[in-house]
Amino acid sequence: MKVEIDSIVKSVCDDLKITAQKQDVAVDVSSLEEAYVASPKQFRLTSEFSSQKTKDAHLKLYKNYTETLTRVSAELDSADRSDVNSRHGTYRSLKLDEAFNINATWLHELYFANSGDQNSQIYMDSLAFLKLQESFGTFENWQNDFMACCAACGNGWAVCGYSTYLHKIVNTMVSNNSQDVMLGLYPLVVVDMHEHSYFRDFLTDKDNYVVTTMRELNWVVIEDRFNIALKLGQALK
């Protein structure tokens, strides 16, 4: 059993590397003692519904998150761990900042990669379609539930993911990057619901933003994530 699990985990890791290569975003995290360096990946935002100003601002914001994460990581490396409490302190503040910025970095990368496909198509025999249909009854039911999560979300993220605890696909929300996070979730579809992602082009019309975003989901990228989630599920049963 141990050998089989190790084999599945290795396969998942290999798939993650292949997925990164397909998206032309090489994984670049370097070790520095306990610290790490988060390098911003290169994305071409291609949505025809977003203005260039929105795209440029969004990429700049993402880059700022990666730079802040690297700075927080470096400061944590030398933070005093001998005088720590749960009310206030440098170490506590840095750990909260780490969670906030690492989530913001990763969620932006997931969102950028699964968005902006002007030739968006999903096939009924694809793993993504079959698993969403299996989990929600019909693919349309999944769409409606995911869009409801988008509408219910304030400044945060709508996420469809594989729950390693429930062993099923669920829709959920993440508030302000690091609040209301469902533990053990492997993200499959991510939509940014912060105002900066839509206000310049859609004003307060969140519904129209969500509909246009759903029309441009990159199901090739999402299919790769479903294949990884399937192997994760097998490894954790």
Q: How do residues 51-66 score in pLDDT, each as one tens digit? A: 999 999 999 999 999 9
Average pLDDT over residues 3-22: 49
Q: Tokens for 129?
A: 């379609």
CA angle 79, 83, 85 (to 5 degrees): 105
Average pLDDT over residues 17-40: 56
The candidate with the shortest Cα–Cα distance to 179, out of 167, 194, 166, is 194
Torsional class of 176: left (φ above 0), alpha (ψ -120 to 50), beta (otherwise): left
- pLDDT > 70 fraction of the chain, expressed in percent and rounded: 86
| Domains assigned to the chain | 2-113 (no CATH), 127-236 (3.55.40.20)
Cβ atoms of 58 and 213 closer than 8 Å: no
For residue range 177-223, what is the model confidence (pLDDT) as tens digits? Answer: 999 999 999 999 999 999 999 999 999 999 999 999 999 999 999 99
Which ranges constitute the DSSP H helices of the chain?
2-22, 52-77, 90-113, 127-136, 139-152, 199-202, 206-215, 219-236
* 137 phi/psi in degrees, rounded to 5: 95, -55
Q: Mean pLDDT score of the chain, rounded to an integer? A: 89
Buried b (16+ CB within 10 A) or exposed e, 149-168: bbeebeebbbbbbbbbeeee
Q: Tokens for 31?
A: 């070790």
Q: What is the pLDDT confidence band of residue 158, given thresholds at 50, 70 and 90? A: very high
> Has this prediction a pTM greater than 0.95?
no
Q: What is the pLDDT confidence band of residue 32, given thresholds at 50, 70 and 90? A: very low
* Count of beta carbons in the 10 Å neighbourhood of residue 42: 11
Cβ atoms of 225 and 62 closer than 8 Å: no
